[in-house]
A and B are shown apart, each in its own frame.
Chain A
Amino acid sequence: MSVLTLTIDEHPVSAKPDETLLDIAHQNDIDIPTLCHLDGLIDVGACRLCLVEIEGSPKLMPACTTRPQEGMVVRTNTDRLKKYRKMIIELLASEGNHQCAVCVVNNHCELQNLAYAVGLVYVRFPYLYPKKTLDATQESYIIDRDRCVLCTRCVRVCSEVEGAHVWDVAGRGISCEIVADMNQMWGDSDACTSCGKCVMVCPTGALIKKGANVAEMEKETDFLKYIVTARQKQEWVGEYLKEH
C-alpha cells in the first residue's frame, strides 16, 4: 500500500490512505479530544469534538472521519478549534440534565473529563433543563436520557458488534433521543440479549447497571478491541470454513 506524507501540528508524519486523521494523530502521540469515536466502532463524526483545520479548506473537518492526502497540512489545536470545542461541551451540558454529585459515573465520566480538558468553568448558555425520560424496565440496566450526549456509541455497538440492533435515534433537535426498538420500553425489547455492551461503551451516566450507587460505576471498553480483533483474524471460525 502506498504511503502518504502530511504535516500535523508542524510534525511531518507518514500515513496509509485508509487510516483516518485521528488514527494518524494518535500514532504520533498527538492528542485530539473525542467523544463519539471509540476504537472498534465505525466512526460517524457525530460529536464534532475532533474537528481539525486543514490548510486551504475553509471548513473544519472531523479527524475521525477524514482520510489523509499527500501534502495535507493539518492543525489540531488552534485557538479557533479550542473555542469551538469548549462551546460544544457547553452546549452538551446545557442540553442535558447533569447533576454530577448524584450521578452513578461521577469521577469516571468522559463528559466530565472533556469539561476539565476544555476548562469549563461555567456554561455561558442558558440551561434548557429538558424533560427527558428514564427507562428502568430492562432486567439489569437503566437508560437515563438526562445524561445522554447522543454519541450513538450504544446504537453502533449493539448493531455492529452484538448484532441485535436494539437502539436507534428518534426525533430532532432538543427532542432527539435514543429509543429501544420502534420506541418501546427497553424491557419489552425481544431483540435485547442483555449483553451489557451498550452500557459499557456509553461515555456518560446515561446507560448504567442497576444497583450501582453514586460514583460507583466505571466503564470498561477494552472488551471491544478483543472482539473486533478476534473477528478480523477469524478466531472463532472453524478450520474448515477458513480453508474454504
Chain B
Amino acid sequence: MQKVDSKPRVATVWLGGCSGCHMSFLDMDERLLELADRIRLVYSPLADVKEFPRDVDVTFVEGAVSNEENEHMAHIVRRNSRYVVSLGDCAVTGNVTALRNKHSNVEIIHRSYVELADKTPSLPIQFNTVAQLLPQARPLHEYVNVDAFLHGCPPTADQIWFAVNELLEGRVPVFSTIYLRYG
C-alpha cells in the first residue's frame, strides 16, 4: 500500500479478549483528537479495514492467542509491524481468556452452549469457515516476539497514552516503574 503521508502508521488488533482494552483505548477521550492529527490508524476493529496492511509502525494487540485465526493473525502482525505491543493482561499472561485452559475444548463448548444457555441449548454446528479453538489460550509472546507490554485488565487510558507517546518518539516504553500493575 502506498503511504499517503508521513504520519506514523498505527494498528490495533483484537484477539482472544473481551474488547475491554479497546474500550480503554477509546477512554483516551479528547486526546484521541490530538492522536488523530498525529497518526494514521491503518487497521483496527474500530475501523473498517479488511486486511492487515504492510509497513505498520506500531501495532497494539489485545487478547490471548486462543484460536487458529488468532495465531495466524499474530504472525501477520509480527511480519508487518516495526513494534508489537501486548495490550493488557490477556495478551501478557493469558489472564481471563486462559481460565478455560484447565478444561478440554469439548467441555467448554458444552458448558457455554448447553449448560449455560437460557434458551435452545444446543451445540454449535461445525462450519469450516469458523476458526477452531486452540487447545489452550496462551500469551502473545509465546507465539511471536513482543517489543513492549502494557499491563492491566484493562490498562488505563493514561497508560496507553503514555505508551503511544513513547512509541511515537521512537522509544520503546518502559513501564516497570510507573505502570507495572497486573489486574
CA distance A107 to B153 in the complex (A): 12
Mark interface residues in A109-132 (1 if CB within 8 Å of B CB, else 0): 000100110011111001101111
Given known contacts A121-B149, A129-B102, A103 and B183 CB-to-CB distance under 8 angstroms: yes
Majority secondary structure of chain A interface residues (helix, strand, loop or mixed): loop
- CB contact under 8 A between A122 and B141, given known A98-B93, A116-B181: yes
Do A100 and B183 have beta carbons less than 8 Å apart? yes
Chain B nearest Cβ from A243, distance in angstroms = 55
Also in contact, A123 and B182, with CB within 8 A (given A99-B99, A100-B153): no
Nearest opposing residue in chain A for B137, CB measure: A129
Any A CB within 8 A of the CB of B136: yes
Which single member of A100, A126, A132 contacts B182 (CB below 8 Å)? A100
Chain B nearest Cβ from A75, distance in angstroms: 23
Interface string of A212-225 (1 = CB under 8 A from B): 00010000000000
CB atoms of A116 and B180 under 8 A apart: yes
With A121-B176, A215-B183: A127-B94 Cβ-Cβ less than 8 Å: yes
Nearest-CB residue, chain A, relative to B152: A101
Nearest-CB distance from B173 to chain A (Å)?
Answer: 11
Q: Mark B54-89, 1 if CB is under 8 A from A, else 0.
A: 000000000000000000000000000000001001
Chain A: which residue is nearest B88 at the CB level? Answer: A101
The answer, yes or no, to whether B16 is at the interface (CB within 8 Å) is no
Judged by a CB distance under 8 angstroms, whether A20 is at the interface is no
Contacts of A132 in B (CB 8 A): 102
A97, B96: Cβ atoms under 8 Å? no
Closest chain A residue, CB of each to CB of B102: A131
A102 within 8 A of B: yes
Between A and B, 10 residue pairs with Cβ closer than 8 Å are A99-B99, A100-B89, A112-B182, A116-B181, A122-B92, A122-B93, A122-B149, A127-B139, A129-B136, A215-B183
14 other A-B residue contacts (CB within 8 Å) besides A103-B183, A115-B182, A126-B142: A97-B101, A100-B153, A102-B96, A102-B99, A112-B183, A119-B176, A120-B180, A122-B92, A122-B93, A122-B149, A123-B93, A127-B93, A127-B94, A131-B102
